[in-house]
């Protein structure tokens, strides 16, 4: 299942002594025990006048529906806010509504992609899932948000990077998918992180140099020593807490983690391609979605990726995309080759 909080982090919290976070420990254990089943375009017109001419431009509209599980572990829940409806005053409902809209706008503005499947504006989410549920996930049809336990996790709808990450899994699936285990699973997680970071930057109008590159900033309470779940800029530094432990993500292939847990380390080893993307984006500068993001996106939707793609295969594919779009000796192609060499996925670009 595609969930924002890795199972190893919840397991660490579930095994912690209950004295410090009695509610959070119980919530983590309950969250791990909950089974999760996997399961026409709207447009708006903009009218303007250019001299004597009436100019009509059209762009797709989202079609959002936010439902409320009312603290039950049942989906989809009771409809709470539909597209165009006024804010409800329920923070989770309204944050989910805004986050889905911001992600839809990002996909269209950056890649001219209409929603998750490239054809439809339909976006669904359910909030208030379970009691003190410590996660948010994409179930193949909708976003699902728990409220967090209030001691360690403060809630998940407040983070646009979380929302866009999980919706990113829908884009990945629609593009053909990447097997959710081993290196292909880590690529799946990494590309979703890229979407999460870029949607957040797009919403805030940030350049690559100004962005934090954090995934999940704001979902921890002040009791946690950490800023987010993951950092694309510096994998392995997002948190270092006496209860949750230290962020285990590597940023180089020499530190690749061999494990049977976490579907073969999909949330852990994603730090390596995450760092590669960050290096490309900061080398090129400007808005990261315009060139670096475009290369990653076009590679994903090219139809040439194997569902079992390795890091090296994805690196080669992004390099081919950069050459095709910008030229063999372009700044973009050099940045891509250099980044993948810098994280040890390919040989040193200078020796080629």
Catalytic site residue 19?
A: no
Catalytic site residue 267?
A: yes
284 near 335, Cβ under 8 Å? Answer: yes
Per DSSP, the three-state class of 177 is: coil
Instruction: Kindly name the residue from 165, 202, 267, 278 that is annotated as catalytic.
Output: 267
Task: Report the C-alpha gap between 66 and 69 in whole angstroms.
Answer: 10
Q: Between β-strands 53-61 and 42-50, what pairing exists: parallel, antiparallel or unpaired?
A: antiparallel
Phi, psi of 188 (to 5 degrees): -55, -50
Contacts of residue 60, defined as CB under 8 A and 6 or more positions apart, other chains included, come to 41, 42, 43, 44, 108, 114, 115, 121
Task: Report the C-alpha gap between 224 and 26 in whole angstroms.
Answer: 17
Q: Compute the CA torsion angle 251, 303, 306, 254 (nearest 10 deg).
A: -10
Instruction: Kindly name the residue from 166, 169, 203, 332 that is annotated as catalytic.
Output: 166
Rounded to an integer, what is the distance from CA 16 to the centroid of its chain?
A: 28
Q: What share of the chain is helix, strand, coil (3-state, %, to 5)?
A: 40, 15, 45
Active site residues: 166, 267
């Amino acid at each position: 299942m595609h969930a924002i909080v890795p199972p190893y982090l919840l397991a660490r919290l579930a095994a912690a002594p209950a004295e410090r976070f009695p509610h959070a420990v119980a919530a983590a254990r309950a969250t791990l025990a909950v089974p999760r089943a996997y399961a026409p375009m709207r447009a708006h017109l903009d009218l303007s006048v250019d001299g004597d001419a009436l100019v009509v431009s059209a762009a797709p509209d989202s079609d959002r529906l936010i439902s409320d599980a009312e603290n039950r572990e049942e989906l989809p829940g009771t409809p709470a806010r539909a597209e165009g409806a006024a804010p409800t005053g329920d923070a989770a409902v309204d944050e989910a509504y805004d986050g889905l809209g911001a992600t839809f706008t990002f996909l269209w503005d950056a890649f001219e992609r209409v929603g998750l499947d490239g054809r439809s504006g339909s976006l669904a989410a359910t909030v208030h899932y379970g009691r003190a549920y410590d996660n948010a996930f994409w179930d193949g049809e909708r976003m699902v948000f728990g409220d967090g336990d209030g001691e360690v996790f403060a809630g998940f709808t407040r983070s646009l990077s979380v929302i866009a990450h999980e919706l990113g899994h829908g884009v990945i699936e629609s593009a053909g998918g990447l097997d959710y285990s081993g290196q292909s699973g880590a690529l799946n997680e990494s590309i979703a992180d890229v979407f999460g970071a870029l949607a957040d930057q797009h919403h805030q109008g940030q350049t690559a140099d100004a962005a934090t590159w954090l995934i999940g900033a704001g979902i921890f309470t002040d009791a946690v020593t950490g800023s987010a779940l993951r950092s694309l800029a510096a994998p392995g530094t997002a948190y270092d807490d006496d209860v949750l432990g230290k962020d285990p993500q590597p940023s180089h292939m020499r530190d690749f983690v061999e494990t049977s847990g976490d579907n073969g380390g999909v949330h852990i080893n994603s730090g390596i391609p995450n760092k590669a993307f960050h290096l490309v984006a900061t080398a090129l500068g400007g808005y990261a979605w315009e060139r670096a993001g475009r290369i990653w996106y076009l590679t994903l939707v090219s139809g040439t990726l194997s569902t079992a793609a390795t890091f090296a295969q994805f690196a080669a594919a992004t390099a081919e995309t950069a050459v095709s779009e910008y030229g063999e000796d372009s700044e973009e192609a050099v940045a891509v080759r250099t980044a993948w060499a810098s994280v040890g996925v390919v040989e040193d670009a200078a020796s080629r």
